[in-house]
Amino acid sequence: MLTEEKKILLKLASESIKAGLEKKKFLVNGSEIPVSLKNKQACFVTLTINSKLRGCIGHLEPIRELYKDVIENSYAAAFLDSRFSPLTVEEFQKIAIEISVLGENKILDYPSLNFLVDYLEKEKPGVILELNGKTATFLPQVWQEIKTAPQFLSV
């Protein structure tokens, strides 16, 4: 993704949250959005304050145009993440916004645990784990906090 596209998405995310704080509906003129941001793509928006999670919402599959997904997920991360109370004006001044645009999900068939550990430590991908109907999602930036694959898999 180009730097200019990243700037546009970060601005849309910030403006969406600001509109939510002002109890206004955020409207954007789609004709001003680059064509490259109008493709259906999945994304997550992560909010942090002092490097601590403050909200994170997204989709694993593409359901709408990327710029619209960023707008919706930004609002949801700020006000609808059930792990946190709604973002305040004071917190808005301190948040860092990170947008993770996801590629296509792929199932990894691995012949052994050693193969899986080696793959994870080399590639450091985002991971979706499913077990008994429950799902956990780890974005690639989780590798900044968890350094080894065995640690990653035990979280």
DSSP assignment string, 9-68:
HHHHHHHHHHHHHTT------GGGS-GGGSSB--EEEEEEETTEEEEEEE-SS--SBHHH
- pLDDT value of position 44: 95
Whether 35 and 94 map to the same domain: the answer is yes
Is 54 part of a structural domain of the chain? yes
Q: How far apart are CA 127 and CA 100, in angstroms?
A: 13
Is 108 contained in some domain?
no
What is residue 107's predicted lDDT score, i.e. its pLDDT?
87
Select from 101, 130, 146 the last residue of a domain.
Answer: 101
Distance in angstroms (rounded) separating the CA atoms of residues 58 and 36: 19
Residue 155's pLDDT is 65
Residue-wise pLDDT tens digits, 70-118: 999 999 999 999 999 999 999 999 999 999 998 888 888 888 888 888 8
Position 17 pLDDT exceeds 90: yes
Residue 55 lies in a domain: yes
Is 11 in the same domain as 83? yes
Rounded to an integer, what distance in angstroms lies between the CA atom of residue 69 and that of residue 42? 7
- pLDDT digits over 18-39, tens only? 999 999 999 898 889 999 999 9
CATH of the domain at 70: 3.30.700.20
pLDDT at 1: 62
| The domain boundary residue, chosen from 76, 101, 126 | 101
Domain match, 16 and 92 both? yes
